Amino acid sequence: MSVTKNDTTVLKNYINGEWVNSSSEVTLDVPNPATNELLIKVPVSTKDDVDLAVAAAKEAFKKWKNVPVPKRARVFYKYHHLLTENHEELARLIVQENGKAYNEAYGEVQRGIECVEFACGAPTLMMGETLSGIAEDIDSEMFRYPLGVVGGITPFNFPMMVPMWMFPLAIACGNTFVLKPSERTPILANRLVELFTEAGAPKGVLNVVHGAHDVVNGLIEHKDVAAISFVGSQPVAKYVYERTAGEGKRVQALSGAKNHHIVMPDADIDRAVQHVMSATFGSAGQRCMACSAVVVVGDNDAFVAALKREADKLNIGNGMDEEVLLTPVIRKEHRDKVLSYIEKGLSEGADLIRDGRKEMSDHPKGNFLGPTIFDHVDPEMTIAKDEIFAPVLSLLRAKDLDEGLEFIRRSRYGNGATIYTNSAKAVRKFREEADAGMLGINVGVPATMAFFPFSGWKDSFYGDLHVNGKDGLNFYTRKKMITSRFEA
């Protein structure tokens, strides 16, 4: 099966403008989650491979930082064109390696392209600030400069969007980059770098080193890596944040989530159900902005019944098949972990009103699990607290909005939260008091666009400056202040 242009049995790294074999003999399989057919193998690269990539990026930085900003931006105009031209192929690659539905993958590619649009604005973004007359005959100016070599480490669930949060803006700002894609969805990264090279990126500006922990640690520890952008699960995000900060480096680490959707008694039930269904079961619940807990306010059994009815009708299958919403989870091992969470929910006394395990035998080859819904979940239960990252939904019952907001406050995570209501008063209270960084008002997946920060709170984010928007710009640049005296 041909998955990329440089397809061989083992994926190659991309270092200094060339496809090279990893120095490691160790590989991991990359199967299609819908069929478990082997797509390709990914090398578990070593710190030696990291050294080569960082050396190439360091050398490329010497020239790239001095390329005029409008010229750097022009590479991204070309890149935008190429990504748009290859939109469908990129989406198909995502379905193959990640398993999500084609229309979701298509949307993900669009989200990635929007990051490139933002990076095209580099000349405006990179502008500094000036003030004449800070004292007699004295002016002040602020200029922005890139940091140097930046390392990016990404998760399996958005093979396109998450890398695109990182390298386009970093590189447009004048940095050079070493990307370590998820070893579970590594294929797309090679196509992204191929197109970036076609767009005119000089060698060494973007490098890809495949692998796992050793590559991550190699990047963190390398003296020539100035900053790390990380997106992944909570324990790893905290580890990467602490270790990188300990090295005295700049770091942003986006982490796990448990997003609550509050359904108020006045909400339009059909619409709320439609949004909850897609936010919960889209991408098999493997989104950092997935809905994994619904707070049902009041005695709204009609909402619960309608949700269950829709869940029973859900199309389950291979993401390449039309009209499929519920696709497989990433690996069999992950599904096993999810099954143990279902057992835990039962043993802790939650009410399993829809058991997705019964659909597993309909799709024996892939890592499928049907829509699973627990009702009357207590906020202290494990299934209410942990990120399960699967099509498993907890329904919590609250007597009023205050209690619903309290459930959100008690969660260690704070990526997103949504309210369904027609009450302006409830909306305002929710906006002011919900303890999360990205809120939806009658919006199921309130993920921000590239010109705003992706703004998780609490254990959903470690660092100061988020990805995207002005935060991203500030993360990838450092400022220099000039104070000048103009005497006769």
CA distances from 455 to 166, 254, 446, 449, 463 (A): 15, 9, 11, 11, 11
Only segment of 27-35, 124-132, 208-216, 338-346 that touches ligand NAD (CB under 6 A)? 208-216
Of the CA atoms within 13 Å of residue 328, those in its CB half-sphere come to 31
Binding-site string for ligand NAD from residue 291 to residue 330, where x marks contact by CB under 6 A and - marks none: ----------------------------------------
β-pair type (351-354, 291-297): unpaired
Q: Which is nearer to ligand NAD, 229 or 477 (CB)?
A: 229
If the CB atoms of residues 96 and 421 are measured against ligand NAD, the closer one turns out to be 96
Question: What is d(CA 459, CA 218) in angstroms, rounded to the nearest whole number?
Answer: 25
Catalytic residue among 120, 173, 288, 291: 288
Place of tokens 């299934």: 383
The piece of 91-99, 155-163, 267-275, 313-321 that touches ligand NAD (CB under 6 A) is 155-163
Q: Draw the binding track, 260-289, toward ligand NAD (x: CB under 6 A; -: no contact).
A: ----------------------------x-
Nearer to ligand NAD, 80 or 334 (CB): 334
CB count within 10 Å of CB 137 equals 12
Count of residues interacting with ligand NAD (CB under 6 A): 28
Shortest spacing between CB 190 and ligand NAD, in angstroms: 15
Give the range of 103-111, 176-184, 343-351, 396-404 binding ligand NAD by CB under 6 A. Answer: 176-184
Which C-beta is closer to ligand NAD: that of 204 or that of 285?
285
Of 122 and 294, nearer to ligand NAD (C-beta) is 294
Instruction: Report 424-463 residues binding ligand NAD (CB under 6 A).
Output: 454, 456, 460
C-alpha dist (Å) from residue 250 to 55, 188, 415: 19, 27, 21
180 labeled part of a ligand binding site: yes
Beta-bridge partners for 253: 230, 462
120 is catalytic: no
Q: Which of 278, 166, 187, 202 is nearest to 16 (CA)?
A: 202
From the list 241, 281, 389, 407, which residue makes contact with ligand NAD (rule: CB under 6 A)?
A: 389
Instruction: Tell me which residue has its CB nearest to ligand NAD.
Output: 232
Given the complex with ligand NAD, which of 15 and 297 has the nearer CB atom?
A: 15
Find out whether 156 is annotated in a ligand binding site.
yes
For the segment 61-100, give every residue that binds ligand NAD (CB under 6 A): none
Question: How many separate helices (H) and strands (E) can be counted in the chain?
Answer: 16, 22
Residue type, 387: E
∠ CA 97-216-36, rounded to 5°:
20
Q: How far is the CB of 161 from ligand NAD (least distance, A)?
A: 8
Q: Is 387 in the site for ligand NAD (CB under 6 A)?
A: yes
Q: List residues bridging with 228 in a β-sheet.
A: 151, 251
Distance CA 68, CA 371 (A): 52
Structure tokens at 454: 């992706």
Asked if 257 touches ligand NAD (CB under 6 A), the answer is yes
Q: Which of residues 225-244 bind ligand NAD (CB under 6 A)?
A: 231-233, 236
- Verify binding: residue 255, ligand NAD, rule CB under 6 A: yes
Cβ contacts of 103 within 8 Å, gap of 6 or more:
none
Give one DSSP letter per residue of 412-452, joined into a string. Answer: SEESEEEEE-S-HHHHHHHHHH--SSEEEES-S--PPPTTS
Contacting range for ligand NAD; rule: CB under 6 A; set: 19-27, 75-83, 111-119, 212-220: 212-220
For residue 184, say whether it is annotated as part of any ligand binding site: yes
Other Cβ atoms closer than 10 A to 349: 11
Given 32, 154, 300, 318, the residue binding ligand NAD (CB under 6 A) = 154
Q: Say how many residues make up the chain.
A: 488
Q: Which residues contact 301 (CB under 8 A, 6 or more apart)?
A: none
429 φ, ψ (degrees, to nearest 5): -60, -45
Show the binding pattern over residues 156-175: x = contacts ligand NAD (CB under 6 A), - = does not. xxx---x-------------
Among 99, 146, 218, 256, binds ligand NAD (CB under 6 A): 256
CB of 83 or CB of 228, closer to ligand NAD: 228
As a whole number of angstroms, the distance between CA 328 and CA 95 comes to 10
Element (H, E) at 180: strand 176-180
Question: Can you give the binding site for ligand NAD, defined by CB under 6 A?
Answer: 153-158, 162, 180, 182-183, 212-213, 216, 231-233, 236, 254-257, 288, 387, 389, 415, 454, 456, 460
Which residue ranges make up the annotated binding site? Answer: 156, 180, 183-184, 387
User: Hey, which residues are catalytic here?
Assistant: 288
Residue set of the binding site for NAD(+) = 156, 180, 183-184, 387
